[in-house]
Amino acid sequence: MEILDKIKEICDGIEYSRDVPEEAKKTAKENNIIIIVGGSDDLMYCYGADCYLTEYIEHNCGWDGDTLRGIEDKELEFEASQLGLMIWWCGEILDAGLKKEGYSVDESGAFSYSVKEGIDFREFKVLDDEDVYCTGIIIKLPDDFKSSQQISDYEV
């Protein structure tokens, strides 16, 4: 079984807690993978590979969706831009005027995430009782990914 599928199997259907199972975190860290879930109405929680995204596990962006471009947190922007990471709120990113056609909150929850084409990823559901709270994402970092922690003078 591919490692992304293994992590998805562990995480799919977990109960909302802003966290993921320890086995998933460990496997992700060992394989240069990031796991992202949503929390509250504007928080993004990141686990796994050694990088800024996971060092500062909680990121307070996502209210009304976010392209993660032009944000105050330049380390987050630098890493997110390499992945094309975007946060969707109920299928939209309001400030950017973006909308996922056919998005269903009942099927995908309030939060979901996307990455640019060519990035290997899987999605999984986080539940709140019987309802889908959010759709988390498991991202395999590309070989050319640079952590903002590895470089002292990065450009955004």
How confident is the model over 114-132, as pLDDT tens digits?
A: 999 999 999 999 999 999 9
More confident residue, 127 or 155: 127
Number of domains composing the chain: 1
Q: What is the pLDDT of residue 56?
A: 77
Within a domain: 153: no
**What mean pLDDT, rounded, does the chain reach?**
92
Local structure of residue 96 (DSSP, 8 states)? G
pTM exceeds 0.85: yes
Cβ(143)–Cβ(18) under 8 Å? no
**Residue range(s) defining the domain that contains residue 120:** 3-140
Q: Could you tell me if residue 148 is inside a domain?
A: no
Share of the chain above pLDDT 90, in %: 76
pLDDT digits (tens, 9 = 90+) for 14-59: 999 989 999 999 999 999 999 999 988 788 999 999 999 998 788 8
**Residue 146 structure tokens:** 């640079």
**Residue found under tokens 């879930």:** 37
The structure tokens 């998933």 sit at 24
Residue 154 pLDDT greater than 60, yes or no: no
